[in-house]
Structure formats: C-alpha cells, structure tokens
Structure 1
Amino acid sequence: MEKSIPKSDTAELPAPDPNNPFYFPDFVLPSGLLFNGVRVMKCPVKDDPMTHLKKIYDLPMRVDDIIITAYPKCGTHWVAEILHMLTSGATEYSGRIKAYTMLEFCNDLTFLDTLTSPRLLNSHLYMAQLPRGMVDKKVKMVHMIRNPKDTAVSLYHHLNQSASKQFTFDNFLKGYPCGDYIVFSQQFDYLRQMAEFEKSHPDHPIMHIHYEDLKQDPAAIIKELSQFIGTPASDDFCQRVAAACCFSNMKKVDPTRERPECLRLLTEKRLEIYRKGVVGDWKNHFTVAQSEAFDEFLAEQKQKGFGFTPRGEL
C-alpha cells in the first residue's frame, strides 16, 4: 500500500515557480540575456555575466593554445588531465582542477596571461561566445561527445548537489528536453552548433573524441591526441597516462587538488565531480516509461540532425 504523506510535510513544500516548474537549480537557469545570439549563463565571477562574456570574446589567444569544448558531463575533466600529462611529458597530476582555466569560471581572465604555453583551456560555452581569436589563430580544439542518456544521468546528479528536494530525476527528464531550463539548452543543440562551426570552418583543427571510445581503448585515443596536439608520445607513455587517468585514480586524487573561490559562489558544499564514470549507467536510472519518453525526444532530434551521432544505444 502506498504510504500517505502527512499534511504537515506537504505544507512545507514551496509552490512551483512558473518560470521553473521542474525545480532546476538557479545557477543553470537562463539569465534572460543574449550575447552573440546565445543565452548568457550566470558566471560565478566578480563581473556581471555580460561583461565577463565580452571579456572572454575579446581574450587574446596564442597559436599553441589548446581548448577543450564540450557539453557538460561529457568528460572534460578526464581529457584535461590527459592533456596536462601529454604537454608536461610526465604522469604527475595537475595541482588544480580544470575550473581554474575554464573560461566562464575564471574570475580574473588576466590570470590566463601568466600561464606558460601551451595553455590548456576549457569551456562549455557555445562557439559564438568563445574567444574570436580562436578562429584567426586556428586554436586546436578537443571536442568531447557522450551518449545522451548517460550524459543526462550524469548531469542530473551534478545539478542535484545544488538543488532542492523537489528536483527529482523525473522532473529533470521533463525539463531537460525542452532546453528552456538550462542555459546550455540540451545536448543536441550544443552538438548542432559545433557541427555548424566545423562546416563553416572546415580547416579548423578539431579532434572529436567519443567518451565511449576513450573508455574502451584509452591508450589508443591518447596516442591520437598526442599527435593532434603536436607532442607525439610513445606507446609506453600513453599506456602510463591511461593508467594514471583511469576513473578510480582520478577520483582518488580529486580531493587533493586546489579549487577556485568561484565554486563557492555556486554552493557552499564541495561539488563532487566524479561519481561512476561508466558507460551505460543510464540503465540503472531510467524507468521503462522514462526511457520511452526520452527515445521520443531522441527521435525528434534525429530528424533535426544530431550534429554528431553519439555512441551506444539511442
């Protein structure tokens, strides 16, 4: 028999916000502003969001910069550590998490001027809001792609750390496909804009990495990545990087890393970045009805064109 909820408990629940009926955490909600035709996120920095995005857009770039671009929860922390080891030539972990060089989280962008080359930058912003100098300098881009159902599960758990109890997985799945409750919209909107950029700039150096391929054969992908960034590495070194950057090791070292102050503006709690890092975890979360509803969403996106077709079940 289903347990009834005492009236005293139901009385404490806040009324749904008509602008946020599925209880998404405030920091990912669209700000209502547009920059270069794309919604502006509430960057947790000292400047107002529009000012910060303008500074990012005008950020001077170097020809040997490398930037990781991806929709959230597609493996940017993972590949950032791999790139750190490839460019440093050693399997020593970075002392800072990637948020220090994440453009929308970098509180003072002049800090990036102090970094030695090659700089390893990263962002979840759409191409229209990334530094315009990237095109002229042909800055190398590493683009991560992940199965949409696994991405959704990972994103829900990440956002849930800063959300109310009303932000259930079911509410997430109702709001996520709309693209109205997350400033980054949904994953396929991101993938389509990336595909449009590549179509408009066919000679721009971009390496697309599927999360699932990196899980299946990390050393081989790391080898390709080393060649792409111009720092060829031996098979042995790529194997050692793969071992050092396996999920269990990354999760173990994460608490020892330095974190920027801006993260505290999002939540007082320490955000956990590493949860499971496996392929196919969506099967442990989606009910049959939720999976069928999400499949309808995927079918609609396929009609529009995925941009890049993810690996795994669709």
Structure 2
Amino acid sequence: METALDEFCEGRVPSGPYFDHVLEYWNERGRSNNLLFLTYEELKRDPHGHVKKVAEFLNCPLSCDEAERVVEKCSFERLSKMQVNRNDNGRVHWSGTKFGSFFRRGEIGDWKNHLTPEMAERLHKIASEKWVGSGLESRLLAE
C-alpha cells in the first residue's frame, strides 16, 4: 500500500497526477457548459438527484420513475454482485488493476480502513497545497 501511495502522490500512475487533474477540471467548471463536476460522496448522498442532474446535463431529462430505475440498475449493491464484476478470470485493466478489484465496500470514508493516519495526512497535505485558494480543498477534504 505504501508503494501504491508513493506512486499516486507522485503522479506515477496510469491516470497521471490526480491532484492536478481534479484542480484543472474544478477550475474549468465555471468556464464551460460542457463540464459537470460531481463527487462520489455527492452521488452517494443523493443518487436520485444526481442521476437527474447528469441526465439534464446530457439534455436527456428523466422522470422520477426513470431516475429510480437508473439508480437501481447502477447501484453499487447490484453491480458489485454481478458475476462479470466478481470473477475477472484474470483479466487486467489497462492500468494494471484486476477488474475484480474495482469494487470494495462503496462506503464514504472507507479509506480509513486502508490508510494509516500518516498516509491520510500525506494525502491531505498534498491536496491542501495543490488546491489552496480554489475552494476545492474545503469541499473535498471535508470527507
């Protein structure tokens, strides 16, 4: 876990420097109508509202019943139990991650079960430094 954290913090992962990517999109959100910025925590707190928000953003508004069906079909509980997601048969994502490891618990704050306080402090420090003054730090670091 420490090696993975080092690589993540240094931006040496297939998805690149996370903190820079997030800040770039955060800063662009006010300048572009083609960008919708959502967090996992927001989706977990209000899945129906955010499914409707995504649909409206895509110019495909949904009724409450349609949004409910989307939430049910895309729920963590349903997707994590699907055989295709539980048994990856050794398949590996382009990032090097086994497909079966994309699903953990789906709970906000589960990072506390995987990171030491020192690891969490390191992430918090980097995010605070990268995002200082953006308004992003108070929004995302509160979780």
Question: TM class, shorter-chain normalised?
Answer: 0.7 to 0.9
**Which one of 229, 233, 240 corresponds to residue 69 of structure 2?**
240
For 1:266 and 1:239, the matched residues in 2 are separated by 32
- Asked if 1:271 is matched to 2:99, the reply is yes
Q: What residue in structure 1 maps to residue 36 of structure 2? A: 207
Q: CA deviation at 1:307?
A: 7.7
- Aligned residue pairs total 137
Q: CA deviation at 1:302?
A: 2.9
Q: What residue in structure 1 maps to residue 18 of structure 2? A: 187
The answer as to whether partners of 1:176 and 1:182 remain within 8 angstroms in 2 is yes
The answer as to whether partners of 1:195 and 1:307 remain within 8 angstroms in 2 is no
Query: Where do 5+ consecutive residues of structure 2 fail to align?
Result: none
- Asked if 1:178 is matched to 2:10, the reply is yes
Compared CA separation, residues 264 and 191, structure 1 to 2 (3 A):
closer
For 1:265 and 1:298, the matched residues in 2 are separated by 26
Alignment of 1:12-23 (within 5 A): none
Tell me the amino acid that sits aligned with residue 295 of structure 1. Answer: H
For 2:58 and 2:2, the matched residues in 1 are separated by 41
Q: CA deviation at 1:245?
A: 1.5
Compared CA separation, residues 236 and 210, structure 1 to 2 (3 A):
same
Q: CA deviation at 1:270?
A: 5.2
For 1:186 and 1:237, the matched residues in 2 are separated by 36
Per-residue deviation, residues 20-42 of structure 1 (Å, max 9, x unmatched): xxxxxxxxxxxxxxxxxxxxxxx
Q: If you compute each CA radius of gyration, which structure gives the higher value, 1 or 2?
A: 1
Compared CA separation, residues 207 and 299, structure 1 to 2 (3 A):
closer
Tell me the amino acid that sits aligned with residue 25 of structure 2. Answer: M
Per-residue deviation, residues 233-274 of structure 1 (Å, max 9, x unmatched): 111221122122111101123517xx9xx957776x952122
Q: CA deviation at 1:277?
A: 1.7
Tell me the amino acid that sits aligned with residue 6 of structure 2. Answer: K
Query: Where do 5+ consecutive residues of structure 1 fail to align?
Result: 1-168
Q: Aligned-pair RMSD on alpha carbons?
A: 3.1
Q: CA deviation at 1:279?
A: 0.9
The answer as to whether partners of 2:124 and 2:141 remain within 8 angstroms in 1 is no
Q: What residue in structure 2 maps to residue 116 of structure 1? A: none
Structure 2 length normalisation: TM-score? 0.74
Which contiguous aligned blocks of 4+ residues in structure 1 show a shift greater than 3 angstroms? 195-199, 262-267, 305-312
SS in 1 for 2:60: coil
SS in 1 for 2:107: coil
For 1:206 and 1:293, the matched residues in 2 are separated by 29
Compared CA separation, residues 253 and 300, structure 1 to 2 (3 A):
same
For 1:184 and 1:265, the matched residues in 2 are separated by 10
Alignment of 1:54-203 (within 5 A): 169-179=1-11, 181-198=12-29, 202-203=31-32
For 1:211 and 1:275, the matched residues in 2 are separated by 14
